[in-house]
Amino acid sequence: MNIYGKSVIIRAIEKNDLEDLKDIINSPEVENLVGGWSFPVATMQQEKWYEKVINEKDNFRWAIDTEDGFIGIATLGPIDWKNRNAFHGIKIGPKASRGKGYGKDTVMAIMKYAFEELQLERLYGSMMTTNIPSVKLYEKCGWKIEGTRRNHIFKNNEYRDQYIVGILRDEYFDLLRETKYWDK
């Protein structure tokens, strides 16, 4: 099953996406925007990762496509079914694909799936406070900054703060009433 936005299609990751995905992960520009431990990823590592994630049941990773093809990856999970919440994040790789609304459309489509199909109560995520494009994107999509983890990420020989962001099911539906996003 694919998830459709207005300008993106969110679909299963296929083996032929792995080279493009590896390029995104190995991009110094993308690496500088995201938290976590980053290191160059080799083709074999990417293939092992793919074999592991295609069978995960509560941790979804999808390819993001536009009319120009593969542009990134979206995640939803791990899903906590008891408490009805899940982590969400995206990475859009080619610089030419940024600033065109694909990120917003991806987040909106994932929220629609999570809140309307899966009936989740809350989505949450995290980003470095210096990742201004992501902060603005999630705020446009109705997410709230719920807290700050101070000196949480060590990158480029310095500590950086990380925002914890989230959105509730009711806030998503309020956003839809206000923006009529899917009606346009």
Model confidence pLDDT, tens digit, residues 134-181? 999 999 999 999 999 999 999 888 999 999 999 999 999 999 999 999
pLDDT > 70? residue 109: yes
Helix, coil or strand: residue 170: helix
pLDDT interval class at 38 (50, 70, 90): low
What gap in Å lies between CA 82 and CA 101, rounded to an integer?
33
44 pLDDT higher than 90: no
Q: Please state, rounded to an integer, the average pLDDT across all residues of the chain.
A: 92
Q: Which residues contact 35 (CB under 8 A, 6 or more apart)?
A: 126, 127, 128, 152, 153, 155, 160, 162
Is pLDDT at 39 greater than 80 in this prediction?
no
Residue 9 banded pLDDT, cuts 50, 70, 90: very high
Please state, for a pLDDT cut of 90, what percent of the chain lies above it: 68
Instruction: Answer positive or negative: Cα dihedral of 99, 165, 28, 76.
Output: negative
Which top CATH class is 3-183?
alpha beta
Q: Would the CA dihedral through 118, 4, 131, 41 be positive or negative?
A: positive
